[in-house]
């Protein structure tokens, strides 16, 4: 077999792939932001004293952590419309899948982060005359958030990579644009290599930001 890597094809596909990059970023950012709200809400339910509230959180977390995100987006896009009575566009389905999936993982991050704060912190806040909500917002949550930040960043990285699955519902993100280009040129190896480099650039950039944040926290503690 006489195979030669076509560098021209690898370079020529970049403009086509760049057209899908904004959708990849949009799905990732909006999905993770919504997932943060879901994660905080269900993470706090996980810590609720009432067993039935904890059970609601457990069911949500186990369902969406225990099933693949690919199955989730297929259900949302193809199955959910038959329940709600109207179709969903691919972008909405993709964002919803990232949101509910990341929210389930973030819920456990939130639960662990809040639980890691010594209970004496809450007692100290109450002794200063703060109410339970003020104590949580001003004392517990800021400390927990610092501890959760690396795990939240890692979840964002995972969600960016998960967007590569959404070509199955026809949304024009990076992988879908690559598939369209491959169908016209048959340069599969070169195109998928460039797609991989795009994802690597995105995840490495976020990893660097996480590392810089962790360093700033360590430097702040050493002062």
Cβ pair 65, 107 in contact under 8 A: no
Give the number of residues written for the chain: 223
Query: 87 to each of 92, 93, 109, how far by Cα in Å?
Result: 10, 10, 33
Residues whose CB falls within 8 Å of the CB of residue 198, separated by 6 or more in sequence, listed in order: 17, 21, 174
Residue 168 tokens, joined = 């199955």
pLDDT, tens only, 147-160: 898 899 999 999 99
In the chain, what are the domain boundaries? 12-117+131-222
pLDDT at 198: 96
Architecture of the domain made up of 12-117+131-222: Orthogonal Bundle (1.10)
- Rounded percentage of the chain residues whose pLDDT exceeds 90: 69
Instruction: DSSP letter for 136, please.
Output: I
Average pLDDT of the segment spanning 29-42 = 96
d(CA 180, CA 169): 14
Helix, strand or coil, per DSSP, at residue 68: coil
pLDDT at 3: 66
* Ranges 18-22, 117-121, 161-165, 204-208: which has the least confidence: 117-121
Cβ pair 160, 29 in contact under 8 A: no
pLDDT at 99: 97
């Amino acid at each position: 077999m006489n195979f030669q890597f076509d560098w021209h094809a690898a370079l020529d596909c970049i403009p086509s792939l760049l057209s899908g990059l904004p959708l990849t970023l949009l799905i990732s950012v909006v999905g993770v932001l919504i997932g943060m709200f879901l994660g905080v809400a269900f993470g706090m339910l996980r810590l609720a004293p009432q067993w039935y509230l904890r059970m609601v959180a457990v069911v949500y977390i186990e369902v969406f952590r225990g099933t693949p995100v690919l199955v989730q987006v297929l259900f949302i896009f193809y199955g959910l419309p038959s329940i709600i009575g109207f179709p969903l566009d691919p972008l909405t389905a993709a964002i919803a899948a990232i949101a509910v999936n990341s929210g389930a993982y973030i819920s456990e991050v939130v639960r662990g982060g809040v639980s890691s704060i010594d209970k004496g912190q809450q007692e100290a806040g109450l002794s200063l005359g703060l109410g339970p909500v003020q104590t949580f917002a001003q004392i517990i949550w800021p400390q927990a958030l610092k501890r959760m930040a690396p795990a939240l960043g890692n979840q964002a990285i995972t969600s960016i990579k998960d967007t590569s699955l959404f070509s199955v519902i026809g949304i024009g993100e990076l992988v879908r644009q690559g598939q369209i280009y491959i169908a016209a040129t048959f340069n599969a190896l070169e195109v998928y290599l460039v797609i991989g480099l795009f994802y690597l650039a995105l995840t490495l950039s976020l990893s660097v930001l996480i590392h810089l944040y962790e360093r700033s926290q360590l430097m702040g503690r050493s002062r």
